Amino acid sequence: MNATQDKDVALELACRMPKAELHVHIEGTLEPDLAFALARRNGITLPYADEAALAAAYDFDSLQSFLDLYYACADVLRTADDFRDLMLAYLERAAADNVIHAEIFFDPQTHTARGITYITVLDGLEEGLRLGRERWGISGRLILCFLRHLSEEDAFATLAEAEPWLDRIHGFGLDSSEKGFPPSKFARVFARCRELGKPVVAHAGEEGPPEYISEALDLLGSQRIDHGVRAVDDPTVVARLIREGIPLTVCPLSNIRLCVFPTMEQHTLAGLLAAGAKVTVNSDDPAYFGGYMNDNIRAVQAAFHFDAATWQSIARNSFEASFVDEAQKAAWIKRLDAVFAVDG
């Protein structure tokens, strides 16, 4: 087999291998067709003539330009059935890409601010997870994200709303506009989350500086860094991520669509991986950024031509970095290795 055929085989294996998705926002999986269907069901008029006009608005130049549209579209989500259908649509696509486990962010404040109760959101998403497991065998967990552009007080109020049903969520995260909203703002909220015995993660180093990555680790106790791709601006931060084995949930297509890097060839994930960082590949907001898990894999492979062993290690990272027990991780890694042992 020549080198090109090797890389084609590697891509086929990467698409087929079992893997975990650790960075996906459920609100970011709202496709234009579902947005219009839910708008009709709920008697809402979207400010776009049709699905094509909405999709044409997906022309972002920064994280904020995306978030403005993302929060506006979330307005079609009103009932538990809406959240269930959103979850089911995502899980069906993820399962088709051989994602066998997903740790899924949701943003309660986006909904409670519009008068939708926390429990409506939670009931709907959970019902979707239950049906997804039944239909496609995919396992899913929920991670409650606080919006960092809102106040600490608002985050504490959200945490208080979540506390009666704590066993139904798996961890806490931090997302939304990054620049100007450092992790330090939420140190006390995250201390409480950790006291409650839950794992915590935070978006850091997407558009923001490497200091935000250090703050997420030191002040929030973040067990993974969501994005983290700007770590390269400070070699001491890269060295620390590698030394401490901190997983990075990298979202390649997202970073291109939001102009974090001009081209995939300039993306820092290959360099970080080669240096020994625990990189995973994820879809972030797949409805808005041009694709789900395997679309991200294809885009990365077109730029970097990884070999099969590299993809196997990326999937292994995804299982090792997940928040399931060690026996479950070992079972999934065994399934992964079996795919590569037969074909690799």
Residues of the shown chain interacting with Zn ion in the complex, contacts defined by CB under 5 A: 284
176 binds, among Zn ion, ligand HPA, none (CB under 5 to 8 A by kind): ligand HPA
- The site that binds ligand HPA (CB under 6 A) totals a number of residues, namely 10
Sign of CA dihedral 126, 92, 343, 272: negative
C-alpha to C-alpha distances, 310 to 104, 305, 306, nearest whole angstrom: 25, 10, 6
Q: Which of 7, 203, 267, 329 binds ligand HPA (CB under 6 A)?
A: 203
Minimum Å distance from CB 67 to ligand HPA?
A: 6
The H-assigned helical ranges of 57-183 are 63-73, 80-96, 108-112, 118-136, 152-162
Please name the helix (run of DSSP H) or strand (run of DSSP E) that holds residue 335, with its range, or none. Answer: helix 326-343
Q: Determine, following the binding rule CB under 6 A, whether residue 74 of this chain makes contact with ligand HPA.
A: no
Q: Determine, following the binding rule CB under 6 A, whether residue 175 of this chain makes contact with ligand HPA.
A: yes
Q: Determine, following the binding rule CB under 6 A, whether residue 103 of this chain makes contact with ligand HPA.
A: no
Phi first, then psi, for residue 142 (nearest 5°) are: -105, 135
From the number of C-beta atoms within 10 Å of its C-beta (0-12, 13-18, 19+), residue 129 rates as buried
Q: Is there a binding annotation on residue 170?
A: no
Of 75 and 284, nearer to ligand HPA (C-beta) is 284
Q: Determine, following the binding rule CB under 6 A, whether residue 28 of this chain makes contact with ligand HPA.
A: yes
75 binds, among ligand HPA, Zn ion, none (CB under 5 to 8 A by kind): none
28 binds, among Zn ion, ligand HPA, none (CB under 5 to 8 A by kind): ligand HPA
Active-site position among 21, 178, 206, 207: 206
Cα 5 to chain centroid distance, Å, stands at: 31
Residue with tokens 């002040």: 219
Of 43 and 180, nearer to ligand HPA (C-beta) is 180
Minimum Å distance from CB 118 to ligand HPA?
A: 18
| Cβ(210)–Cβ(231) below 8 Å | yes
- DSSP for 1-50, written as a single string: --HHHHHHHHHHHHHHS-EEEEEEEGGGG--HHHHHHHHHHTT---SSSS
Q: Determine, following the binding rule CB under 6 A, whether residue 29 of this chain makes contact with ligand HPA.
A: no
Q: Is 103 a catalytic residue?
A: no
Residues designated as active site: 206
Residues that bind ligand HPA (CB under 6 A): 25, 28, 63, 175-176, 203, 206, 254, 284-285
